[in-house]
Structure 1
Amino acid sequence: MDPTVAITGATSGIGRAVAEAFVDEGAFVAVSGRDGDAVDRTVAALNEGEGADGDGDGGETAGTAWGARADVRDEFDLERFFEGVAREAGPIDAVFANAAVFHGGPGESPIDEASYAGYDDTMRTNARGVFATISEAVPHLAEDARLVVPSGAVANESRPGMGAYAASKAAAEGIARGFAADLDATVGVVDPGLVATDLTGKERARDPESVAPLFVWAATEAPAEDLNGERLGLREWKAATR
């Protein structure tokens, strides 16, 4: 049976690329984001078989996309989103808690200059948003479901100018480990390395499309015991799939 996958922050960057990869694998993919119009455009493009860059060269669509507006800062949005996914496609096999913000720019946002408002919104989106995403997904999970939280080196390495974003990623990893300890479902962290997205703005970084298969592998094929409460990255993926 083809899996049912739910992705937050799925209208651009890694989230959009992962949605495209899952659709290509034949999955039912539920996408969400803060911008309802962007969600509608993403769903239409995925169902028309367009590539993650929207250039229309993605080939014939194998799976199905569905979407709804949801702001991960609002648990009631997430409650409605996951209820909608379950109503449309049944129990959810994989959740990708991808939605995140970065107020400022990487390397240009020292934490000692962070505003309280910016810090609070970053933590509410990137950390509490992960907590709320997993919490609201739990009632709708399939047996052997997997929940994946993206992170990066900034979660456990001191790097200048990463501000509240680094703190929020460390918190998100802690939240994932907590759920891994307390849920029957598999919950883990995936680190794709430096990826060029709207958040990072890095020109010399991997394209989101190049790391999307890593997330698909983690959510479907990686040994559950290697993912649960742990962090998987490019090295583990390449070793397992070469």
Structure 2
Amino acid sequence: MTTQTILLTGASGGIGTAVADAFAGDGWRTILCGRSRESLESTAETVSEAGGTPVVRPLDVRDEDAVFDTLLETIPETLDVLLPAAAVMPHAPGERPLDEEYYEDVRTVLDTNVYGLFTVLREALQFMPSDGRVLVPSGSVARDPKPGMGTYAPSKAAAEALARGFAIDVDQTVGIVDPGLVATALTGDTGRDPTDVAELFQWAALECPAEKLDGEIVGLREWKQATR
């Protein structure tokens, strides 16, 4: 059993839920953050059944004061791993060319996927030891845009840039984890089952050499090469 703590935003489903369950199996204290208390409570049930200690905290990552208060009130000593998985896409993949994007949706996506990510990283790093790790989820769309992705693809490119910038400026290891296409609400439930990539995030958090993760992108290939 461990006394370590992981905090996940976007823990209401998808990758956040799957990773929370995986860490719970090792007895981690798991802080679950998201906008929907009902969905977080569902995740907490599975975390408890897996042996973890869940803490549910509804949170809007765009609210910097709420982010800091959440950290202050839920981190017992230090935060060992951060998975900032909160992200939004107001339309189905492939359905919104950038030149048809709605201004209000641009603001929503950038506020959550970029400003919200910055806020969570900036505030959480204060609670992390120098050997703590931040795992920023991303995908190839950040580097190889596909048609109709609207503002989502640029927002993920910005998220990767933020991860690299923090990696240069802070002592903690800040890396980008690319699990490929995963079946979540954002992808229209197309892709790999989130549980199939949860071990990738565990490996990135606990086993991947810091120098190969810090400011870098690790994905399925690196994970499989290291663990086969």
Q: Which category describes the TM-score, using the shorter chain as reference length?
A: over 0.9
Q: Does 1:62 align with 2:48?
A: no
Q: Distance in 1 between matches of 2:197 and 2:158?
A: 23
Report if aligned partners of 2:62, 2:116 keep a CA contact under 8 Å in 1. Answer: yes
Q: What is the CA distance between 1:212 and its match in structure 2?
A: 0.6
2:213 aligns with 227
Q: Does 1:32 align with 2:33?
A: yes
Q: What is the CA distance between 1:142 and its match in structure 2?
A: 2.3
Q: What is the CA distance between 1:174 and its match in structure 2?
A: 0.3
Among 150, 172, 177, which residue is 2:159 paired with?
172
User: SS of the residue aligned with 2:151?
Assistant: helix
User: SS of the residue aligned with 1:91?
Assistant: coil
Q: Distance in 2 between matches of 1:213 and 1:11?
A: 19
Report if aligned partners of 2:21, 2:46 keep a CA contact under 8 Å in 1. Answer: no
Report if aligned partners of 1:123, 1:168 keep a CA contact under 8 Å in 2. Answer: yes
Aligned residue type for 1:149 = V
1:191 aligns with 178
Q: Does 1:211 align with 2:200?
A: no
Q: What is the CA distance between 1:202 and its match in structure 2?
A: 4.1
Q: What is the CA distance between 1:37 and its match in structure 2?
A: 2.7
Q: Does 1:130 align with 2:131?
A: no
Q: Distance in 1 between matches of 2:130 and 2:53?
A: 21
User: SS of the residue aligned with 2:80?
Assistant: strand
Q: Relative to structure 2, which stretch is displaced further, 37-46 or 173-182?
A: 37-46
Aligned residue type for 1:231 = I
Q: Distance in 1 between matches of 2:3 and 2:176?
A: 23
Q: Distance in 2 between matches of 1:76 and 1:10?
A: 19
Report if aligned partners of 1:93, 1:143 keep a CA contact under 8 Å in 2. Answer: no
Aligned residue type for 1:80 = D
CA RMSD of aligned residues (A): 1.1
Q: What is the CA distance between 1:118 and its match in structure 2?
A: 0.1
Deviations 1:8-45 (CA, angstroms, capped at 9, x unpaired): 00010010000000101221110100112322332233
1:20 aligns with 21
The normalised TM-score by structure 1 is 0.91
Q: Relative to structure 2, which stretch is displaced further, 36-45 or 14-23?
A: 36-45
Among 61, 83, 91, which residue is 2:72 paired with?
83
User: SS of the residue aligned with 1:206?
Assistant: coil
Deviations 1:95-141 (CA, angstroms, capped at 9, x unpaired): 00100001111011111111111001101101111101101101111
Q: Distance in 2 between matches of 1:154 and 1:201?
A: 15
Gaps of 5+ in 2: none
1:58 aligns with none
The percentage of counterpart residues that share the same residue type is 47
Q: Distance in 1 between matches of 2:6 and 2:73?
A: 12
Q: Number of matched residues?
A: 227
Q: Distance in 1 between matches of 2:69 and 2:207?
A: 29
Aligned residue type for 1:79 = F
